[in-house]
Amino acid sequence: MDRQHQHVNAQLKQTWLRQIYLEFRRIQQHKPHLNLPKLVFRLAKAQQVLGCFRAHERTVEISEHLLLKYPWHVVLEVLKHELAHVCDYHRGGTCEREKHRPHGRGFQYFAEQLELQPWARQACIDLTQVSTLLGEQPVVGEAARILRRVERLLQLASSDNAHEASAATAKAQQLMRDYHFNQLQQGFPTPYVRRQVRVGACRVPRYLQRIAALLTEYFFVDVISETDFDVYQGREVASFAIIGRKEHAKIAEYVYIYLSRHLLAEWQQEKKRRNWKGLAARNSFLDGAVAGFENQLQTAACEKKSMSDPRSSLKSRQQSLIFRETESLRHFVKSCFPQLRVVRSSAFCSVDREIYAHGFEEGKKLRLRPGVAQQKKQSPRRIQELS
């Protein structure tokens, strides 16, 4: 048995049941027209059956194996699957009258109302599809070759020679961009994945929000802030969902992990050396560092743009492909987050200009050192995909 599984006790299981009930209440409030009845929730030991609705007991069972092995958003989809059965049964649907078709029209109607993802609407949920969605399947073929080359370029970007590091960063970005356009031009399907990285706190710090925006801008992914449930700590935590093609999502995840760790380490060193104190100083330094690193990416992009032929007929073709890819990715994100809203904060943020400037200079000198595969081996569970 996994070492982490040994620490699961009765008290922790009670927190799981409370959280499942809390999610049920949220669905009740969000979907009042479904008139969901009162239900009893239980945990089951089964591994093959992820969820079960027992109509005569008004009980919904969720597999402990599911809770321990898969991310919370997968658990929610299984919960909503069972709630679709509940609605179908209480509206006189197929659960009792047509046992041979428990996933018929009635179930599919309520699955649509509950906004289930396509993989969660099947009678037997294919866990291979779930693993593919989470990006757990290995990258193979041409994508694997490109990923290895990008890893090597990111290692070259650790050079102390500023020109060499900038050239390596630019080459890595261009390699990703060219491969991206090649995939689109050949009409390959878009096997998007959803990888999750946890913040480890209830609120997302401002500098992590800026890193997420940076990934969205430069690494061909969408990054969505969401609330996750940590089954081992028994509490809700903030997290980011990194959504995009598998190879892009893995690189973006590595960049996020490296930046979030390294910038905090730089802050600790500078804080001791310069005797800086307070949250405002910390935020100012980290904001400046992220802005400095983004300046590197902007410089690399401008250098590449200046070397390209502006009269090339490929430019309009690329813009058309980018638009098509953006629409496709937006559709996938919408399927994962049906209730997604864009919230703009108007809160005033205090910034110390001097400390921000120090952080900016540190960010401009920041180099991505380990390779993607090396970093992943050392990453703790809370910042890896939940597998």
Convert the pLDDT of each residue in 45-91 to its tens digit: 988 889 999 999 999 999 999 999 888 999 999 999 999 999 998 88
Count the Cβ atoms, other than its own, within 10 Å of residue 197: 24
Q: Following DSSP, what letter does each residue of 61-85 receive, concatenated?
A: EEEHHHHHHS-HHHHHHHHHHHHHH
What per-residue confidence (pLDDT) applies to 345?
Answer: 56
What is the Rg, in whole angstroms, of the alpha carbon atoms belonging to the chain?
A: 24
Q: What is the mean pLDDT of residues 140-151?
A: 62
List the single range of 59-63, 130-134, 234-238, 297-301 with lowest mean pLDDT: 130-134
Place of tokens 């321990």: 68
What per-residue confidence (pLDDT) applies to 245?
Answer: 84
Q: What is the mean pLDDT of residues 304-321?
A: 51
Under the banding of pLDDT at 50, 70 and 90, the label for residue 377 is very low
Q: Following DSSP, what letter does each residue of 167-225 receive, concatenated?
A: HHHHHHHHHHHHHHHHHHHTT----EEEEEEE-SSSS--HHHHHHHHHHHHHSS-EEEE
Q: Where are the domains of the chain?
A: 3-133, 141-383
Under the banding of pLDDT at 50, 70 and 90, the label for residue 382 is very low
334/154 Cα distance (integer angstroms): 32
Beta strands in the chain (DSSP E): 40-44, 51-54, 59-63, 192-198, 222-230, 235-245
What per-residue confidence (pLDDT) applies to 179?
Answer: 59
Under the banding of pLDDT at 50, 70 and 90, the label for residue 21 is very high
Instruction: Render pLDDT for 179-218 as a digit per residue (tens, 0 to 9).
Output: 555 554 444 455 788 888 988 777 888 899 999 999 988 8
Angle at 256 between CA 252 and CA 262, to 5 degrees: 140
User: pLDDT > 90: what percent of the chain?
Assistant: 31
Q: What is the mean pLDDT of residues 354-358?
A: 91
Residue 1: is its pLDDT beyond 70? no
What per-residue confidence (pLDDT) applies to 337?
Answer: 80
Residue 350: is its pLDDT beyond 90? no
What per-residue confidence (pLDDT) applies to 371?
Answer: 45
132/157 Cα distance (integer angstroms): 31
Residue 359: is its pLDDT beyond 60? yes
Under the banding of pLDDT at 50, 70 and 90, the label for residue 296 is confident
If 0-12 CB within 10 Å is exposed, 13-18 middle and 19+ buried, where does residue 56 land? exposed
Q: How far is CA 236 from CA 37, 43, 72, 271, in A?
A: 25, 19, 10, 30
Under the banding of pLDDT at 50, 70 and 90, the label for residue 366 is confident
What per-residue confidence (pLDDT) applies to 369?
Answer: 58
What per-residue confidence (pLDDT) applies to 43?
Answer: 95
Higher pLDDT, 137 or 90: 90
Q: Which CATH class is domain 3-133?
A: alpha beta
What per-residue confidence (pLDDT) applies to 168?
Answer: 61
Instruction: Render pLDDT for 105-116 as a digit per residue (tens, 0 to 9).
Output: 889 999 999 988
What per-residue confidence (pLDDT) applies to 81?
Answer: 94
What per-residue confidence (pLDDT) applies to 323?
Answer: 46
Q: What is the mean pLDDT of residues 240-252?
A: 87
16/22 Cα distance (integer angstroms): 10
List the single range of 35-44, 229-238, 296-305 with lowest mean pLDDT: 296-305
Residue 6: is its pLDDT beyond 70? no
Residue 273: is its pLDDT beyond 80? yes
Q: What is the pTM of this model?
A: 0.72
Mean of pLDDT over the chain: 76
Handedness of CA 44, 47, 52, 54 (dihedral sign): negative
Closest CA to 363 of 207, 199, 200, 170: 207
